[in-house]
Amino acid sequence: MAAELVRGQNHPLAQVRLEIRISAGVPVLAGVTLGDEHGTVPGRQWVAHPGVPAPPGVEAPRQAAAEHLLAVDLAALPEAVHRVEVFLALPAGTAVASRFGAVPAPHTTVNGMDGTELASYTLTGLDAETAVIALELYRRQGAWKVRARGQGYAGGLPALLADKGLSDPGGLATVIQEAAAPGLAGAATVPTARPEPRTTASPSRADSTAEPVQPPRPSGPQNAGEGGPALRSSGGPVDYTHPHRTPSVSSPLPSAAGGQPARPVAGDAVGWSMEERLYNQVWGMFEDLARATAAYRGAVEFADSRLEKELDQVLADPRQRLGAAGDVAREAAHARRTLLAGQARAALDRDLAQLTAEAEVVEPALPAAYARWDSPVWHTYRTPAEPPMALRLGDLHLPESAPLRIPLLVRMPLERGLWIDSGPAPAADGRVPDPAGLREPAMAAAVALAARLLAVHPPGEFAVQVVDPAGTATQALLPLTETGVLAEPPVTGAAGISQTLERFTRRVDLAQMAVRGGVAESLPADMGTGRQLLIVNDFPHGFDDRAVARLRFLADDGPAVGVHLTLVADRADAAAHGPLLDSLWRSLLRLTPLPDDHLADPWVGHAWTYEPSLAPHGSRLLQRVLTEVARARAKHW
């Protein structure tokens, strides 16, 4: 699968013969510098540009254009070459553009010679720069990788070439600009700048690996494991704007009074309704936080790598290895690392401040299905007339931005069942919690989820059934049992389990046959038309192989016909029951009753900490909401 990179991120290259495609929207000139292990370019002969397009292993475009194709054969490069950097520059002395911040964000893709896309990167966040290093191909321990650089130069091409250690960079820049000039005949006027893109992010974990959170898309949620929406165009300039979000700002950002950024607006995304706009805005915030954090981590990694190389260089020089000169060189290297890391943190803090301001506006505007339990919308709760578009399962956050929580929203109806893990997970200090102590919180999380599902659906359109084999969840189930919102009392004992699973299996079987035959309206009257949630506590205790097979059938085929499954189970217990339970576990979306970093975004694979959505401790909010649900259901019937 192709990697969609963010600034600072790297990705291994599986091929050595590459095509690099550039789409800029306006004419730009493109070239390549070949550097040693320190990034230094020995001389002009190591620069591929329109005047000298083909040094060994590289072929650069011969003129300025809006679309470019560069060829790189890493195996054909001289042994001394350790870095291949692709640069872009705006043509000098023309009306094409004065800075990259005034043009569409350039987009780059790295493809194999067979057309396989290996990686892509959109150069966002540029402003006054007129030259930029877009990509870096570099050799590390005998293997090649690509890194998204996005390093801009307000001083233009001369500043970029000077940074590579070239003598007379201004003269070489003039040669390159003059060689590219013929391609500017008939160049178009500058298009309106587009804002930075937001492409948008259901989770589960297979044992210890984080599983991607899936982003929304116009036709519905994306299958687990797929990446974000592909940035493609059938012709003309490529539009890199977020497909679900209409940004309220463009680059450069407009300012309110006093030079501060304009205040965010709730519902600042495209959609047919406010509910859909808020849903898309939340996922846009999720992606923005993922990418901002990836840029920060990548910049720190780059700073650490640069420090390591500079220290190695000091040690390799006998004249600097010992004595005052070596100490000065080492201190200077550490100072440069501290400066780079500080600049990266400052950029992250700016992004976090903007996202925090947006969250403070968006959170109070969320409807009940999306809102936290402590939101005022729940204290003025009324049963809805329409089912929700999505549901909040909890919150996500990253260690660099712990105070900022992003709601974890999933589309309705649920396309996957849920596994709420009641087993112990090692704490940060390595200690394992008492398994018995987690079972009640796990069931409480399942009850809070069931309460939310009942509350956000119109009366009679959603029902909940509970299977509690040993009757151990009586206390946790009180909000549901006291208010009388369960379709039937909790089922206990082997006979009750068998009958309940038989009934649900029959429902799914008949519904599938009716849908395939085009006679969905002819279903038996006792089946009802509403959706149902089956909560199974203490799984797999008390379940034989036949019961497990039925649960797997419900997990696979139930969602399509309105039957949803939630298992409250200990992963360690389930693992002892063989491959049947293992496949069931992997088919469900894993949630935890306590904060746990088992979810990952589809772009860079951050380990996100998930926190369940629970009512405030000691509150009777669930009982009050469910009492209103029961009252509305009684009137409906």
DSSP 334-366: HHHHHHHHHHHHHHHHHHHHHHHHHHHHHGGG-
- Which H or E run includes 314? helix 274-316
Q: Are 381 and 625 in contact (CB under 8 A)?
A: yes
| 114 DSSP β-pair partners | none
Average pLDDT estimate for 306-321: 81
CA within 13 Å, CB half, 244: 28
CA–CA gap between residue 479 and residue 466 (Å, rounded): 13
**pLDDT given at position 74:** 92
Cα–Cα–Cα angle for 279, 283, 284, rounded to 5 degrees: 110
536 neighbors 568 (Cβ within 8 angstroms): yes
Mean pLDDT over 115-139 rounds to 90
141 conformational bin, left if phi > 0, alpha if psi -120 to 50, beta if neither:
left
CB atoms within 10 A of CB 261: 14
Task: Compute and round to an integer the Cα radius of gyration of the chain.
Answer: 29
Residue 476: count of CB within 10 angstroms of its CB: 23
The helix (run of H) or strand (run of E) holding residue 307 is helix 274-316
Q: How many CA atoms lie less than 13 Å away from 519 in the CB half-sphere?
A: 7
**Token couple for 414:** 């649920």
What type of residue is 557? D
Answer whether 194's CB lies under 8 Å from 104's CB: yes
Each residue's pLDDT tens digit, 474-519: 999 999 999 999 989 999 988 889 999 999 999 888 888 876 776 6
Q: Are 634 and 485 in contact (CB under 8 A)?
A: no
Q: What is the pLDDT of residues 361-412, one digit of tens each?
A: 999 999 999 999 999 999 899 999 999 999 999 999 999 988 999 999 999 9
Average pLDDT over residues 524-532: 66
What pTM value is reported for the model?
Answer: 0.63
pLDDT tens digits along 413-461: 888 899 998 876 545 555 555 555 688 899 999 999 999 999 999 998 9
| 198 pLDDT tier (thresholds 50, 70, 90) | very low
How far from 227 is each of 202, 217, 223, 296, 600, CA to CA, in Å? 13, 11, 9, 21, 12
DSSP category for residue 446: H
Residue 23 has pLDDT above 50, yes or no: yes
Instruction: Evaluate whether 420 touches 567 at the Cβ level (below 8 Å).
Output: yes
State whether residue 454 is helix, strand or coil. helix
Of 200, 372, 183, 354, the C-alpha closest to 286 is 200
Q: Cα–chain-centroid distance for residue 548? A: 33
What's the confidence (pLDDT) of residue 7?
Answer: 82
CA gap 156, 160 in Å, rounded: 6
Q: Are strands 563-569 and 589-591 parallel, antiparallel or unpaired?
A: unpaired
What residue ranges define each of the domains in the chain, with the CATH number in brackets?
3-184 (2.60.60.30), 200-218+242-379+392-404+595-623 (no CATH), 412-588 (3.40.50)
**Structure tokens belonging to residue 523:** 């279903």
Handedness of CA 240, 90, 154, 44 (dihedral sign): positive
d(CA 352, CA 406): 12
